[in-house]
Amino acid sequence: MKKLLPLILLISTICSAQNIRSYNISVNQGDESQVGELFKEFHGKHKRKSGTITLQRVQFLNDVTHRILLTGNPNNWGWEMQPSESEWQAYRRGNMAYRKSAPGSYTGKSLYWKDGDRSKYNVGRQWFFKVNDRVKFAAAYVKFAKAIEPIIGERLMGIGSLEMGDLKGASHYTVFYGESMNDLELMSDKVRATKAYQEFIKSNGGSEAIVSFSVRDLIRY
Which of 1-10, 59-68, 96-105, 155-164 has the weakest average pLDDT?
1-10
Give me the pLDDT at residue 17, please: 73
Give me the pLDDT at residue 41, please: 95
Give me the pLDDT at residue 160, please: 98
- The model's pTM is 0.90
List pLDDT tens digits, range 6-22: 555 454 444 457 999 99
Q: Tell me how far apart the alpha carbons of residues 123 and 56 are, in angstroms, rounded to a whole number.
A: 9
List pLDDT tens digits, range 178-215: 999 999 999 999 999 999 999 999 999 999 999 999 99
List pLDDT tens digits, range 136-160: 999 999 999 999 999 999 999 999 9
Assign domain 5-17+106-220 one CATH number from 1.10.150.120, 3.55.10.10, 2.40.340.10, 3.30.70.100.
3.30.70.100
Q: In Å, what is the CA distance from 24 to each residue of 4, 107, 201? A: 38, 11, 30
Question: Taking the domains of the chain in order of start, what are their residue ranges?
Answer: 5-17+106-220, 21-101
Amino acid type, 9: L
Which runs of E-coded beta strand occur in 84-203? 99-101, 106-114, 123-131, 156-164, 172-178
Task: Tell me the percentage of the chain whose pLDDT exceeds 90.
Answer: 91
Q: What is the Cα 28 distance to its own chain's centre?
A: 23
User: Which has the closest alpha carbon to 170: 111, 112, 212, 210?
Assistant: 210
Round the average pLDDT of the chain to a whole number and report it: 93
Q: Tell me how far apart the alpha carbons of residues 78 and 51 are, in angstroms, rounded to a whole number.
A: 9
Give me the pLDDT at residue 16, please: 54
Give me the pLDDT at residue 12, please: 46
Give me the pLDDT at residue 187, please: 98
Per CATH, 5-17+106-220 and 21-101 having the same topology is answered yes
For residues 120-146, give the mean pLDDT. Answer: 98
Identify which has the larger pLDDT, 118 or 17.
118
Give me the pLDDT at residue 1, please: 53
Give me the pLDDT at residue 77, please: 96
For residues 133-137, give the mean pLDDT. Answer: 97
Give me the pLDDT at residue 15, please: 46
For domain 21-101, give the CATH number. 3.30.70
